[in-house]
Amino acid sequence: MSDSIKTAVILTNLGTPDKPEASAVKRYLREFLSDSRVVEGKGLRRIAWLAVLNFIILNLRPRKVAKLYRSIWEDDSPMRKILNEQVTELQLLLQQNYETAPCVFAGMTYGSPSLKERLESLAGHGYQRVLIIPMYPQYSATTTAPIYDQVARFQLGRREVLDIRIVKSFYNHPAYINSLAQSIRLFRQSAQPAEKLMLSYHGIPKEYADKGDPYPQQCHQTSVLVAKALGLSENEWVTTFQSRFGPAQWLQPYTDKTLESLAQKQVKAVDVVCPAFTADCLETLEEIAEENKEVFHKAGGESYQYIPAVNSSPAFIAALMTLVQEQSADWLKLDNQADEKNNAV
């Protein structure tokens, strides 16, 4: 690789407010929920949504959400803190294994550090090649596609565009499946395994799936592969979808309704994991770990355990390195034999 060519890797997640305060939450929610990829609609439907967002949601939700953030906030939001840890650990692993290791950075689709600002900074510092890894194993037009949109807007009008690659998905990648299965296995070794493992994914409106979003199929494929890796029989696990919002029908079965149904069927113990999340955040730590525990207990369930996301576990960091190797081998020549040959000269 020529010394004049600089290569970067950006790990990109959804985003988080800058502070656990209503004003910061309001700014974040406005940016997030104003994206037409997140809440689709054109014409009058779009106008109606923006009216609801600006005059109702942004006046009612920020204080409540800020309070929830304060309950999980330490020196930073969990998502941003974990993303920075993932960046640090991936950088170290790459440097330990390859002489031509790229520099690793963090970027958020919404909030800070923003992907747009990160790309502008990298261009200003002479980086010519960028590999972006969205931290969403399963592709959706509501999560991964906005990253493509931001990259397109960044490139628009540039005299010399950067060479940018994006990992579209890795829902069935053996390294990711291994890291997720290992995370579940280690948790269940340290705690009494439940009779049912629930793999709960963030939901999307059914309308989006009907229009061709591949997200639900990829979620189900992830579940099948994880269950196989864990050696589970069909009656030992279930796939569900969480966090529905508004009156429209979302992907089913719903997580909360399934928990109630399981308890009513005398299933006393459930372990819940969220494979669509590679970093714990408000949704996993509050809605899944706390609110849904209460749902299960109220319905008659006894033991409810939330299994943390893969976060910065060694197996997941190794999976990220594998993605870097596969997606940028021709750029970086990350090859052990080549490194050994260079060292021998």
Q: Which residues contact 230 (CB under 8 A, 6 or more apart)?
A: 181, 184, 185, 197
d(CA 212, CA 218): 12
In 203-268, at which residue ranges do the beta strands (DSSP E only) sit?
A: 237-242
- In angstroms, the Cα distances linking 36 to 49, 102, 210, 231 are 10, 33, 17, 41
Question: Which uninterrupted H or E stretch holds 249?
Answer: none
31 carries a ligand binding annotation: no
Region of residue 311 (phi > 0: left; psi between -120 and 50: alpha; otherwise: beta): left
Q: Which residues contact 16 (CB under 8 A, 6 or more apart)?
A: 28, 77, 79, 80, 108, 111, 281, 282
283 carries a ligand binding annotation: yes
Which residues are documented as binding site for Fe(2+)? 202, 283
Which residues are documented as binding site? 202, 283
